[in-house]
Amino acid sequence: MDIQILYKSGLIIVILLLSLVIAMYATLAERKIAGFFQDRLGPNRAGIFGLLQPVADGVKLFFKEEFMPATADKFLYVLGPSLTMLIALLGSAVIPWGNTLVIGNNVFPLQVADVNIGVLYVFAVTSIGVYGIMIGGWSSNNKYALMGAVRAASQMISYELAMGMALIAIVMMSGSLSLHDIVAQQHGIHWNVWYQPIGFFVFVICAFAETNRTPFDLPECDSELIGGYHTEYSSMKLGFYLFSEYINMFISSAMIASLYFGGYNFPFLHELGMSHNWLTIVGTFVLFAKIGFFMFLFMWVRWTLPRFRYDQLMRFGWKVLLPLAIVNIVATGVIYELFKK
Amino acid sequence: METISVTSDYIPILIQIVVALSFVVVVMLVSHFIITKRRRVRSIKKEDNFECGIEIEGNARFPFSVKYFLIAILFVLFDVEVIFFYPWAVNFKESGWSGLLYMLLFVALFMFGFYYIYKKGSFDWNKDEE
């Protein structure tokens, strides 16, 4: 028991550090990819290929002057970004990063907590994310920030519905809410995406909206709202908002990979003749490759598609995605019952 | 599938909350006290809210479009209905055709409500309010 607790604590620290480092380098990757898409170089001054750029950005944010508007609600103004960052760091707890490692008589699962309501946990945590943005935008006492915050809130709750509906079809297929079970059932190439293409489509779009990425970045919307909900923020508080967006992107990519693309599973898993521990390690690398692909997809879409208009956004969420997700549930149910055995 | 989570399954989540919280608090304190405290320059004009450089007009505590509240209320209603789907979805494979038909009844009611608010124009943002 003690060794397990110790191991879990170590795993938590490793995963948190890993998600911070990945988020850091995602900012660099984003700028490099933007450079590539716009036929320019991107950051290349700090370190070789600009590899020290994220460190330089972090140090810069630490040394910036801390600004707080005189009319702001001081407690909530600090709480907003802190909450956003905290929530972003909590999502990784239930994601299975790999199978189990067997050392001696001890079995070490590469998952922080295998709770039987894993899907609901992630869902709950992302819902709290709305509060961070809402509190930050409202407490700044700035009109742009307020507009950004109400937009963010109503966009995120709208797309959360369709996201929950898309997940229900997955839960129907697997009969479990535990992410570990859902991933374990997609062994080999039996990935959920082949059985749930519509659900996958809806889920990915909702993941874009939940992380406030283009084409759903209306809360920030720099061409009409200055900076949206973080207009009045500076220093590390702004850093928290920007940074948590990348961590959320990482967690969303991990969720998409686990729910629809088989997580750490890969084809011909057992034909390779490797030992269990090696398979686990290879599986973890495969999972990170899938996550990397989806993070690239996030950036690819950002530098390709223009932003929605607000009424288009709401119309799309409620009139297209929500009915589509319900049709998907019904279709999944009927097809499953017709073709089972 | 038959595993029942005991409280000890949640201890790692608790540890993660503590670690993440301490990270956030430490970074906030470091950025506030150690580095920028003495550098902060304050003046009344500077601490105004940003409004593109012109004199600020009132404050941001004003009523905004009721549509946002409507969306929030619709979200609460629909989210409760989504939550009703989950227990059914977990037991879907055991419940067979009868379970599916009962659920279709629920979906029909759900869609009826959805159709009503659709026709009421709750999702039309650019329609003029009469």
Tell me, yes or no, whether A1 lies in a domain.
no
| Higher-pLDDT residue of B125, A152 | A152
On whether the CB atoms of residues A240 and A84 are closer than 8 A, the answer is yes
Residue B88, pLDDT above cutoff 50? yes
With CA atoms as reference, report the closest residue to A264 among A118, A98, A18, A15.
Answer: A98
Domain layout of chain B by residue ranges: 7-119
What is the rounded CA–CA span in Å between residue A175 and residue A286? Answer: 25
Length of chain B, in residues: 130
Q: What is the mean pLDDT of chain B?
A: 79
**What was the pLDDT predicted at A57?**
85
The CA distance from A9 to the nearest CA of chain B, in Å, is 7
* Cβ–Cβ below 8 Å for B24 and A82: yes
Q: What is the ipTM of this complex?
A: 0.81
Residue B130, pLDDT above cutoff 50? no
Q: pLDDT band for position A309 (50/70/90)?
A: confident
**What was the pLDDT predicted at B1?**
42
Instruction: Using a CB–CB cutoff of 8 Å, tell me whether B110 touches chain A.
Output: yes
What is the rounded CA–CA span in Å between residue A227 and residue A147? Answer: 10
Output the CA–CA distances (angstroms, integers) from residue B84 to A321, A335, B63, B107, B112, in the order listed: 19, 21, 34, 11, 16
Express each pLDDT in A241-278 by its tens digit: 888 889 999 999 999 988 888 888 877 777 777 777 88
B24 closest CB neighbour out of A85, A115, A144: A85
A176 closest CB neighbour out of B16, B48, B90: B90
Q: Using a CB-CB distance cutoff of 8 angstroms, which residues of chain B are in contact with residue A150? A: 64, 68
Residue B68, pLDDT above cutoff 80? yes
* Domain of A157, in residue numbers: 68-339
**What was the pLDDT predicted at B2?**
46
**What was the pLDDT predicted at B36?**
57
Interface test with B, best of A5, A6, A8, A12 (most B CBs within 10 A): A12
Residues in a beta bridge with A109? A100
The CA distance from B108 to the nearest CA of chain A, in Å, is 10
A235 closest CB neighbour out of B36, B41, B59: B36
> How crowded is the C-beta side of A1, counted as CA atoms within 13 Å?
3
Decide: helix, strand or coil at residue A117: coil
Superfamily classification of domain B7-119: NADH:ubiquinone/plastoquinone oxidoreductase, chain 3 (1.20.58.1610)
* Cβ–Cβ below 8 Å for A85 and B79: no
DSSP state, A215? T
B54 sits in the region (left: phi over 0; alpha: psi -120 to 50; else beta) called beta
Interface test with A, best of B30, B68, B79, B82 (most A CBs within 10 A): B82
**What was the pLDDT predicted at A48?**
82
DSSP state, A109? E
**What was the pLDDT predicted at B7?**
64
Express each pLDDT in A186-230 by its tens digit: 877 778 888 888 889 899 999 888 888 878 877 776 677 777 788
Residue A174, pLDDT above cutoff 60? yes
Q: What is the mean pLDDT of chain A?
A: 84
What is the rounded CA–CA span in Å between residue A143 and residue A146? Answer: 5
What is the rounded CA–CA span in Å between residue B97 and residue A134? Answer: 44
How many beta-carbon pairs under 8 angstroms link A with B? 204
What is the rounded CA–CA span in Å between residue A75 and residue A72? Answer: 9
* Cβ–Cβ below 8 Å for A89 and B16: yes
Residue B73, pLDDT above cutoff 50? yes
Least confident of A102-116, A274-288, B71-85, B90-104: A102-116
Q: Using a CB-CB distance cutoff of 8 angstroms, which residues of chain B are in contact with residue A62? A: 30-31, 35
Could you tell me what percent of chain A has a pLDDT over 90? 4
Q: Using a CB-CB distance cutoff of 8 angstroms, which residues of chain A are in contact with residue B71? A: 154, 157-158, 314
Token digits of residue A114: 């295998």
**What was the pLDDT predicted at B127?**
67
Residue B8, pLDDT above cutoff 60? yes
Q: Using a CB-CB distance cutoff of 8 angstroms, which residues of chain A are in contact with residue B39? A: 65
The CA distance from A82 to the nearest CA of chain B, in Å, is 6
pLDDT mean over A77-91:
89
| Higher-pLDDT residue of B39, A62 | A62
Q: Using a CB-CB distance cutoff of 8 angstroms, which residues of chain B are in contact with residue A315? A: 123-125
Residue A139, pLDDT above cutoff 50? yes
Q: pLDDT band for position A63 (50/70/90)?
A: confident
Instruction: Using a CB–CB cutoff of 8 Å, tell me whether B7 touches chain A.
Output: no
* Cβ–Cβ below 8 Å for B78 and A337: no
Instruction: Using a CB–CB cutoff of 8 Å, tell me whether B63 touches chain A.
Output: no
| Higher-pLDDT residue of A69, B60 | A69
What is the rounded CA–CA span in Å between residue A181 and residue A176? Answer: 7
Question: Tokens 């320059």 belong to which residue?
Answer: B41
The CA distance from A264 to the nearest CA of chain B, in Å, is 19
Express each pLDDT in A4-29 by its tens digit: 788 888 888 888 898 889 988 888 88
**What was the pLDDT predicted at B3?**
52
The CA distance from A52 to the nearest CA of chain B, in Å, is 20
Q: pLDDT band for position B39 (50/70/90)?
A: low
How many domains does chain A fold into?
Answer: 1
Express each pLDDT in B14-38 by its tens digit: 888 888 899 889 888 887 776 655 5
Q: Using a CB-CB distance cutoff of 8 angstroms, which residues of chain B are in contact with residue A160? A: 75, 79
On whether the CB atoms of residues B74 and A154 are closer than 8 A, the answer is no
What is the rounded CA–CA span in Å between residue B27 and residue A111? Answer: 26
B64 closest CB neighbour out of A116, A150, A318: A150
What is the rounded CA–CA span in Å between residue A81 and residue A136? Answer: 7
Residue A54, pLDDT above cutoff 60? yes
Token digits of residue A85: 């960052």
Instruction: Using a CB–CB cutoff of 8 Å, tell me whether B81 touches chain A.
Output: no
